[in-house]
Structures are given as structure tokens and as C-alpha cells.
Amino acid sequence: MTRCDRCGAGLSPTDVAYHVWIWVVARVGEEVREGPWSSLEEAVADVSSRRQGVPEELVASDVHAARSFLVCVSCKERLLADPLGAGHPHHD
């Protein structure tokens, strides 16, 4: 049985579940900013073209990271309500 990556609840093949993607890209000057792209694919293509000529060792997990998770309905609602965990008691 598949499980929610956030809370561990069991998910049967007929349960509603959601894929959540987190895409993190280091901001270099004005390279990455809000809103100029109409899609994630367009953003990735733009950032990829801007990094042409940048040494590959600089293009690592500290510059770009992507993760995906499968979550249940309840966890999807919690993530949308507080995506960065600002309401978490351990948040500084």
C-alpha cells in the first residue's frame, strides 16, 4: 500500500491523493524572480539558458534542488494553508 509522504496514512489506489513538487533555485542577482513565466517548464528553460557557461561544479544541489511527494487530502490542505511551516511551533 502506498503511504502519504507527510503523515504516513495509507493510500489505496482509489483514494484521492496529490503530488506536491518543491523546486528550489538559488537567486543570482536578478536571475530568478517572481512572476515572469507562464509555466514551470518555461522557468526551467529560462534558468537553464542563463546558466550556460557557468562551471558545472557550481550547478549543484546548493544551486538547484527538486523534490516530489505524494500526500493525502488532509496533508494537501495543511500544506496549502501553511506551505513554509510558519505556524509551526519551532519556526524562528
In a domain? residue 56:
yes
In a domain? residue 71:
yes
pLDDT for the residue 24: 82
Sign of the alpha-carbon dihedral angle for 23, 24, 30, 31: negative
pLDDT for the residue 60: 62
pLDDT band at 16 (very low <50, low <70, confident <90, very high): very high
Q: Which domain holds residue 38?
A: 2-81
In a domain? residue 89:
no
In a domain? residue 90:
no
Quote the number of domains for the chain: 1
- Top pLDDT among 79 and 26 is at 79
Q: Mind giving me the DSSP string for the chain?
A: -EE-TTT--EE-TTS-EEEEEEEEE---TTSS-SS--SSHHHHHHHHHHHTTTS-GGGSSTTTEEEEEEEEEHHHHHHHHHSTT-TTSTT--
Which tens digit of pLDDT belongs to each residue from 54-90? Answer: 666 666 656 677 899 999 999 999 999 999 888 766 6
Angle at the Cα of 72 from the Cα atoms of 66 and 77, rounded to 5 degrees: 85
pLDDT for the residue 59: 62
> Which amino acid would we find at residue 80?
L
In a domain? residue 87:
no
In a domain? residue 91:
no
The whole-chain average pLDDT of the chain stands at 80
In a domain? residue 67:
yes
Q: What is the pTM of this model?
A: 0.59
In a domain? residue 92:
no
